[in-house]
Amino acid sequence: MSNSQVSDSNDTAVTEGAEVVAGDKQSDAEAQTHFGFKQVEKNQKASMVAEVFHSVAAKYDVMNDLMSMGIHRLWKRFTIDCSGARAGHKVLDLAGGTGDLAAKFSKIVGENGQVILADINNAMLNVGRDKLRNLGIVGNIDYVQANAEMLPFPDNTFDIITIAFGLRNVTDKDKALASMYRVLKPGGRLLVLEFSKPENELLSKAYDVYSFHLLPKMGQLVANDSESYQYLAESIRMHPDQETLKGMMDAVGFEQTSYYNLTGGIVALHRGFKF
Amino acid sequence: MPAAQLVSAALEVTLNKLLDMDPTSEHKLAKLSGKQMLVDITESPWPFVFSFSDRVDVLIANRDEESQADCQMKLSINTLGVLKDSSQITRLIQNNDLVLDGDIHVAQAFSQLITEMDIDWEEHLSQVTGDVAAHTLMQTGKSVIARMNHRISTLTTVLAEGAIEEKQIAAHKILVVDYCDKINVLRSDTARLEARIQRLERQLGQD
Ligand SMILES: C[S@@+](CC[C@H](N)C(=O)[O-])C[C@H]1O[C@@H](n2cnc3c(N)ncnc32)[C@H](O)[C@@H]1O
C-alpha cells in the first residue's frame, strides 16, 4: 500500500521522514497499521506515537487551547457531565495526558474516591503530574504508565473510565476497548471522547482546510513542530466514524452504547455500560 | 457548540471566585464536602448539579436520566426569589411550588453558603487600589447610594401625590419646578463626585 493511495484527497498528507514508512508490500497488510495516513509496521506505531507526544508534551495545553479555540474544555466538561461521577467513585482517566479530566474527577470523587491518570507516555504523565500538583490536587490521585491495550489492573476495578482524544492513537483499538471492558466494574461506564466525522458536508470541507493547512502551521509557529501536528490531523481523519466506533464497543460487550455529536460531529462522545 | 457547558463553566468560575473572597466559606463548604445538590429551575433548559469539595464544581444534569444527587430541588424562577424568606418554605412545598427530595441538610447548607456570603469588598478593592483610596471610594460610593435612594424616594412621593391632583394645573407647575431643582442638586452632586474621583486618580498615579 502506498502513501499516495491513502492520501489522494490531500497532497500535504505526504510528509518527510519517509524512512519510517513501509514500502509497497501488499502482502504485509496484516502486520501493518496506519500512522496518520502512512502505513507502518504495527510494532512501530506505539513508539512513533510516543515520539509525537514526547515532542508536544511541554506545549500540549497551550496548543490544545489554541487549536480548538478553547472549545476542548467544553467537550471535556460535557464528558464529565455524562460520567455520573460521585463521591467515592474509582475513575480511570486513560490516555489522560496532562490530566484535565483527572483534575475535575479528583474533586468530585473526594477523599474516599480514587482517580488514576494513566498514559503510555512518561513525558505527558510528568507534565500532568506537575500541573495537578501545582493546582493542589493531591491525595486521591495516582499516576500509572500503561498501554490501553494491556491495562495493568484487576478485573472489575473502575466505576468510570474515560479516554479523551486518546483512542485514535492506540494501535489495536479493539484490544484496548476489550481491556477497558475487563477492568470496568459491572454497572460502570466507559466514555470515549474523540474526533469524529462532521455531520455536514460544508463543515467537513472547512474542517479539512483547517486541520490540514492551518493546524500544522500553528504547530510550527507555536511548538516549532509541524510534523507532529500533521500527524494529529491525519490520525483524526483515519479514526473510525460514529457508527463504526459504536459497533466496535458493542462487539467487545458494552451495552446501551450511544453517542452524542458535539460541535457538528467534529467531536463525538461515545458512552457504553458494562452490566 | 455545547452551550450548556459554557453556562455551567461561567457559573462555576463566578461562584468559586466569590467563595474565595469569603473567609467563612471554607468552614461552610466543609459541611457539604462530598455531597451533590441538583437544582432544576423549570425555566432553565438544563438542571444544574453542584458538586462540593473544597470548591464547587457545576455540572449539567440530564432530565431524562435519574439523578443520583444527595438532594434535589425543583422550582420555578419566581419561587427562587421567595426562597430567601424561610418562613415561606412550608407553604411553597405544600403548594407544590417547591419540590425537595433527599437530604434536606444539604439544601440548608447550600443556601447558607450562597445567601450568607460575607465578602469584604473594601478589603478586596484595596488590593488593587491601595487602602486609603479603597476606603474613600467605598465611603463615597455608600454615601452616593444613600443620597440617591433618598432622592428617589422623595421623588416618588412627589410624583405619587402629583398624580392624585392630576387635574390641577398649578400643581403640575410646582412639580416641574421642584423636579428641576432636584435635577440641579443632583447635577452638582455628580460634579463634586467627579472631581473627587479625579483627585483620587491623581493620588493613585503618584503612588
Ligand atoms: C491527544 S492526547 C490526550 C490527552 C488528554 N486526555 C486530553 O484530552 O487532553 C493523547 C494521549 O494518548 C496517549 N496514548 C497514545 N497511545 C496510548 C496507548 N496505547 N495507551 C495509553 N495512552 C496512549 C498519548 O501519550 C497522549 O498523552
- So where are chain A's domains? 3-30, 53-199+229-273
**Residue A225 Cβ contacting ligand 1 at under 6 Å:** no
Spacing, Cα A95 to ligand 1 middle (Å): 3
- CATH code, B83: 3.30.1050.10
How distant is the Cα of B150 from the closest Cα of chain A, in angstroms?
46
CA gap A90, A270 in Å, rounded: 20
Confidence of residue A15 (pLDDT cuts 50, 70, 90): very low
Residues B126 and B46 in one domain: no
Bridge partners for B73 per DSSP: B39, B100
More confident residue, B180 or A72: A72
pLDDT of residue B171: 52
| Gyration radius of chain A over CA positions | 18
Nearest CA to ligand 1 atom 25: A121
Concatenating the DSSP letter of every residue in A130-198 gives HHHHHTT--SSEEEEE--TTS--S-SS-EEEEEEES-GGG-S-HHHHHHHHHHHEEEEEEEEEEEE---
Which ligand 1 atom is nearest residue A148's CA?
Answer: 20
Residues B164 and B65 in one domain: no
Confidence of residue A8 (pLDDT cuts 50, 70, 90): very low
What is the extent of the structural domain holding B176? 171-207
**Do A87 and B35 lie within an 8 Å CB cutoff?**
yes
Ranges A23-37, A243-257, B172-186, most confident: A243-257
Total domains, chain B = 3
**Do A77 and B53 lie within an 8 Å CB cutoff?**
no
> What is the chain A residue with the closest CA to B33?
A110
**Residue A235 Cβ contacting ligand 1 at under 6 Å:** no
Residues B101 and B145 in one domain: no
CA gap A107, A112 in Å, rounded: 11
Do residues A91 and A158 lie in contact, with contact meaning Cβ atoms separated by under 8 Å? yes
Q: What is the pLDDT of residues A156-195, one digit of tens each?
A: 999 999 999 999 999 999 999 999 999 999 999 999 999 9
> What is the chain A residue with the closest CA to B8?
A77
B74-77 long-range contacts, CB within 8 A, separation 24+: B74/B40, B74/B42, B74/B98, B74/B99, B75/B40, B75/B41, B75/B42, B75/B99, B76/B41, B76/B42, B76/B43, B77/B41, B77/B42, B77/B43, B77/B44
Do residues A272 and A254 lie in contact, with contact meaning Cβ atoms separated by under 8 Å? yes
How distant is the Cα of A251 from the closest Cα of chain B, in angstroms?
25
Please give the single-letter amino acid code of residue B172: H
**Do B2 and A86 lie within an 8 Å CB cutoff?**
no
ipTM value: 0.80
Residues B160 and B197 in one domain: no
Residues B131 and B205 in one domain: no
**Do B6 and A108 lie within an 8 Å CB cutoff?**
no
Domain A53-199+229-273 falls in which CATH fold?
Answer: Rossmann fold (3.40.50)
Q: Residue B68: list chain A partners with CB under 8 A.
A: 84, 86
Residues B144 and B182 in one domain: no
Determine the residue among A74, A159, A267, A273 to mutate to test chain B binding: the one whose Cβ has the most chain B Cβ atoms within 10 Å. Answer: A74
Check pLDDT > 90 for residue A108.
yes
Check pLDDT > 50 for residue B101.
yes
Residues 6 or more apart whose CB falls under 8 angstroms from that of A46 comprise A120, A147, A171
Residues B77 and B138 in one domain: no
Range from B40-44, B124-128, B135-139 carrying the lowest mean pLDDT = B124-128
Sheet strand arrangement including B36-41: B56-60, B48-52, B36-41, B71-75, B98-102
Residues B52 and B145 in one domain: no
DSSP state of A22: -
More confident residue, A146 or A37: A146
Residues B23 and B111 in one domain: yes
Check pLDDT > 80 for residue B102.
yes
Q: For chain A, what is the mean pLDDT?
A: 86
Check pLDDT > 60 for residue B203.
yes
CA gap A214, A221 in Å, rounded: 11
Spacing, Cα A234 to ligand 1 middle (Å): 16
Residues B13 and B98 in one domain: yes
Average pLDDT of A1-6? Answer: 36
> What is the chain B residue with the closest CA to A108?
B51
Residues B202 and B180 in one domain: yes
Residues B159 and B100 in one domain: no
> What is the chain A residue with the closest CA to B47?
A81
Check pLDDT > 80 for residue A130.
yes
Bridge partners for A40 per DSSP: A33
Q: What is the greatest pairwise CA distance in chain A?
A: 55
This prediction's pTM: 0.77
Q: Which three cell numbers stand for residue B54?
A: 473544597
DSSP state of A111: T
Confidence of residue B51 (pLDDT cuts 50, 70, 90): very high
User: Among A71, A84, A88, whose Cβ lies nearest the Cβ of B1?
Assistant: A71
Q: For chain B, what is the mean pLDDT?
A: 81
